[in-house]
Homo-oligomer: A and B are copies of this chain.
Amino acid sequence: MNQSDFNSLEDGLDGDTLHEECGVFGILGHPDASTLTALGLHALQHRGQEAAGIVSFDGQQFHTEKHMGLVGDHYTDPVTLAKLPGTVAIGHTRYSTTGEVALRNVQPLFAELEEGGIAIAHNGNFTNGLTLRRQIIATGAICQSTSDTEVVLHLIARSRHSSTADRFIDAIRQMEGGYSMLAMTRTKLIAARDPIGIRPLVMGELDGKPIFCSETCALDIIGAKFIRDVENGEVIICEIQPDGSITVDARKPAKPQPERLCLFEYVYFARPDSVVGGRNVYMTRKNMGMNLAREAPVEGDVVVPVPDGGTPAALGYAQQSGIPFEYGIIRNHYVGRTFIEPTQQIRAFGVKLKHSANRAMIEGKRVVLVDDSIVRGTTSLKIVQMIRDAGASEVHIRVASPMIFHPDFYGIDTPDADKLLANQYADVNAMAKYIGADSLAFLSIDGLYKAVGGAPRNPERPQFTDHYFTGDYPTRLLDREGEKVGRKVSMLASNG
């Protein structure tokens, strides 16, 4: 599985990838607020490529730009940036899971409150969003988007507290699930992370001005300094004072709980150069490959990464096993836009549109393919075929994470459970046979825990969120229980 810039191709052709919902970025008090936000979102582009939005406030008025497509397609030219003046800005880049893809659903969402405007953006998902949405509509509110983020706006608007910060806290206390959220008003930038910290969120600083963003790579691109992680359950309120100074007020409104970061941030989502929860992601991936080599050794002539997601783990596997690391698969970087809707004939070329076997490294060799994860197995099947066509004598697949059995409800787009490879076959041998590999092995859950955190999984109090592997959901799933009722909403299909 690859951390792909071509998710549209992948969706159109294979759909064999998990997608992160979003990345967020916000800055307060900086004269280049929207330019820095655009750059930050560009660095977070791997977290969502379908659409991006930025809201800024210029002292008089809020400004918003929302566009389908990449940040670099819309937010870096002088015309667009000139439409986003001001010293406060938040931005959002999105791969949609909840709600259809329409501009009115693209975040940040904005609302006019009695005390002024507020914009919010978040990464994650609310497990009680639909339930709250129904309750709110029942009491006379109007929902204009199909995004569950709008629910937060309604809760803020309805809160009986007087300050915006208190209203915000009042609102998020009602939300369940996994989220990292930013809010901005005329003078404030607010950051919040869910009680167990499923999604990452970090605080940085540039020229003395506070920044919040999903990953440290968004700080690095603008040369900002990393301050600290926003803690699980924490709300940090930054405010420009009349004298121009900025105050920072950190609160913990929720009952303290241990943090449980999502393991998939390490396995696949986060950028390798980011530091998530204090750990360099690239190193954790190399560790996964090393542990995999220890757990599932194999006789091979060459270790070949499935680009690009499998590369660090493959390097770890090669270093640990002593088998040479080689680029046996070459990636085509130039996939264009109409590959999104190719003809049936072109669609049939599948993975070859993105990858090609480097025959000289493959022919006559026992190939150890290392990938980061396997979701449905459809892409793995095609890649194995491609490697065999290039003359490999044996193909062994080593996967640097455990088998995936369960869907996610915290902002990762997972296929239905019955589409997951692990649920379709009785055991790993049957899976290997389906994929066409001579052998197949997955990293153990303890192997993964050790690669990331140094210790095996503590079954009493797991250190990370890992339900897709284990079924151990870290929160209740209110909406899911009432799912059938939920079908009633979201009836407006917009093509705007």
Instruction: Please give the residue numbers on chain A whose beta carbons come within 8 Å of chain B beta carbons, in ascending order.
Output: 5, 32, 35, 38-39, 42-43, 45-46, 49, 60-66, 69-78, 80-81, 83, 103-104, 110-114, 116-117, 137-138, 140-145, 150, 153-154, 157-159, 217, 220-222, 271-273, 275, 280, 282-283, 308, 311-312, 315, 319, 324-327, 330, 332-339, 341-343, 345-346, 349, 352-353, 356-361, 489-496
A158 to chain B, nearest CB (A): 4
Cα-based distance from A358 to B215 in the complex (angstroms): 13
Cα-based distance from A158 to B136 in the complex (angstroms): 11
* In the complex, chain B residues whose CB is within 8 Å of the CB of A312: 327
Partner of A142, one of B62, B112, B217: B112
A10 to chain B, nearest CB (A): 13
Do A272 and B338 contact each other (CB < 8 Å), given the known contacts A39-B349, A143-B112, A157-B141?
no
| 15 contacts across the A-B interface (CB closer than 8 A) | A42-B353, A46-B332, A49-B334, A60-B491, A76-B338, A77-B342, A83-B495, A103-B103, A111-B143, A112-B489, A140-B154, A217-B330, A221-B353, A273-B358, A311-B327
Do A75 and B338 contact each other (CB < 8 Å), given the known contacts A39-B346, A111-B142, A356-B220?
yes
Contact present for B311 and A315 (CB under 8 Å) = no
Contact present for B343 and A81 (CB under 8 Å) = yes
A287 to chain B, nearest CB (A): 12
The 8 closest A-B pairs by CB, nearest first: A72-B336, A280-B360, A73-B336, A70-B336, A45-B334, A140-B158, A5-B333, A111-B142
A72 to chain B, nearest CB (A): 2
Partner of A356, one of B141, B217, B336: B217
Contact present for B114 and A65 (CB under 8 Å) = no
Contact present for A357 and B64 (CB under 8 Å) = no
Do A142 and B137 contact each other (CB < 8 Å), given the known contacts A45-B334, A62-B491?
no
Copies per assembly: 4
* In the complex, chain B residues whose CB is within 8 Å of the CB of A81: 343
Cα-based distance from A143 to B117 in the complex (angstroms): 10
Contact present for A70 and B334 (CB under 8 Å) = yes
Cα-based distance from A490 to B111 in the complex (angstroms): 10
Partner of A76, one of B46, B158, B346, B361: B346
A464 to chain B, nearest CB (A): 20
* In the complex, chain B residues whose CB is within 8 Å of the CB of A60: 491
Contact present for A32 and B345 (CB under 8 Å) = yes
* In the complex, chain B residues whose CB is within 8 Å of the CB of A361: 282
Contact present for A492 and B360 (CB under 8 Å) = no
* In the complex, chain B residues whose CB is within 8 Å of the CB of A356: 43, 217, 220-221, 271, 273
Partner of A66, one of B273, B326, B359, B496: B496
Contact present for A114 and B137 (CB under 8 Å) = yes
* In the complex, chain B residues whose CB is within 8 Å of the CB of A358: 272-273, 280, 282
